[in-house]
């Protein structure tokens, strides 16, 4: 049911995040928090328990966007894993987005292996038909032992299988990996195993972020207690180099490290861009290329 009352702004509760590539998108918060919320490194959603937002609040946000966001062609559904919404509720949301914002050409959302596994292939295809064009898929690492250690709740095989289902349904796949998550102890095997997983999954986009240890996380407590030693800057560059060298993607697919957390931003278009990026990393290792200063790094 529609009405003419326009709210003062869109309803955002707690900390909200979105991928760098969604900076210019309409941001619609349809869920609060993350249904998993157990990863040892993540402190984003510690301030709220997972729940679905009520339909009236969502409709009010769509009315606001209809009035004030007519130049924005993309929309991103927050919070952490909107794909976990019950099928009928997600279909309702996508239909309402089409009704209120017919100029939006692409809807994006976060996804994880658990939320994908809850959906049938037919349901995933229906989301694509209703406008979902890209899923941002948190992998973090391809290393089996490390996935268990950081409480990701997935295995390499599950991550590959469920990510491929998103691609087969017609969504573009943007995979997030995390430099430094293995600490010094796992740096090299993490890089190699993650490159192997990315090669098997072959996403359209890879986004490499760099770990920033947060006090409000289990990993942060491990760091303070001396149980976790993060890699140094040089080790992180070597890890990036090893991961990139181990990652084979289809022509036109891309590997980025352009997030604000990274010391060295790179943008690789496969296949020709990988050799150039490896040379750039080598130049950074030898001191010929400057790095992002610590004070400029951010989540």
Task: Give 68-129 as a DSSP string.
Answer: H-TT--EEEEESTTGGGS-HHHHHHHHHHHHHH-TT--EEEEEE-HHHHHTS-HHHHHHHHH
| Angle (nearest 5°) at CA 245 between 241 and 247 | 120
Residue 255, pLDDT score:
98
Residue 7, pLDDT score:
57
Contact 118, 84 (CB under 8 A): yes
CATH code: domain 20-296 is: 3.20.20.70
Contact 79, 29 (CB under 8 A): yes
Q: Quick check: helix, strand or coil at residue 174?
A: strand
What is the token pair recorded at 138?
Answer: 């948190």
Distances (CA, A) of 27 to 14, 100, 172, 257: 14, 14, 19, 23
* Tens-level pLDDT at each residue, the chain (299 residues): 333 444 568 999 988 889 989 999 999 999 999 889 899 999 888 888 899 999 999 999 999 999 999 999 999 999 988 999 999 999 999 999 999 999 999 999 999 999 999 999 999 999 999 999 999 999 999 999 999 999 999 999 999 999 999 999 999 999 999 999 999 999 999 999 999 999 999 999 999 999 999 999 999 999 999 999 999 999 999 999 999 999 999 999 999 998 899 999 999 999 999 999 999 999 999 999 999 998 888 87
Q: Where are the alpha helices (DSSP H) in the chain?
A: 55-68, 87-100, 113-117, 121-129, 144-149, 156-169, 183-201, 218-224, 233-245, 273-285
Distances (CA, A) of 133 to 113, 126, 174, 210, 262: 17, 11, 11, 26, 27
Residue 9, pLDDT score:
87
267-269/26-29 β-pairing:
unpaired
What is the token pair recorded at 298?
Answer: 């951010």
Q: Pick the closest to residue 219 from 43, 17, 36, 35 (CA basis).
A: 43
Residue 4, pLDDT score:
44
106-111/267-269 β-pairing:
unpaired
């Amino acid at each position: 049911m529609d009405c003419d009352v326009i709210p003062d702004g869109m309803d955002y509760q707690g900390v909200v995040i979105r991928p760098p590539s969604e900076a210019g998108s309409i941001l619609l918060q349809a869920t609060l928090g993350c249904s998993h919320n157990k990863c040892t490194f993540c402190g984003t959603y510690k301030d709220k328990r997972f729940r679905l937002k009520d339909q009236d609040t969502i409709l009010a946000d769509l009315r606001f966007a209809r009035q004030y966001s007519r130049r924005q062609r993309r929309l991103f559904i927050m919070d952490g894993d909107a794909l976990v919404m019950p099928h009928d509720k997600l279909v309702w949301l996508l239909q309402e987005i089409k009704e209120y914002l017919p100029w939006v050409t692409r809807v994006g959302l976060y996804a994880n292996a658990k939320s994908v596994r809850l959906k049938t292939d037919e349901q995933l295809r229906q989301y694509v038909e209703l406008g979902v064009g890209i899923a941002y898929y948190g992998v973090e690492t391809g290393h089996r032992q490390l996935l268990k250690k950081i409480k990701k709740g997935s295995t390499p095989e599950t991550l590959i299988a469920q990510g491929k289902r998103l691609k087969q349904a017609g969504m573009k796949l943007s995979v997030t990996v995390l430099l430094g998550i293995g600490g010094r102890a796992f740096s090299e095997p993490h890089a190699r195993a993650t490159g192997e997983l990315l090669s098997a999954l072959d996403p359209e986009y890879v986004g490499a972020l760099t770990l920033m240890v947060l006090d409000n996380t289990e990993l942060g407590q491990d760091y303070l207690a001396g149980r976790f030693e993060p890699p140094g800057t040089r080790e992180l560059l070597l890890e990036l180099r090893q991961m990139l060298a181990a990652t084979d993607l289809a022509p036109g697919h891309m590997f980025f490290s352009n997030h604000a957390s990274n010391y060295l931003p790179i943008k690789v278009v496969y296949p020709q861009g990988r050799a150039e990026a490896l040379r750039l990393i080598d130049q950074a290792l030898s001191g010929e290329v400057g790095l992002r200063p610590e004070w400029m790094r951010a989540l």
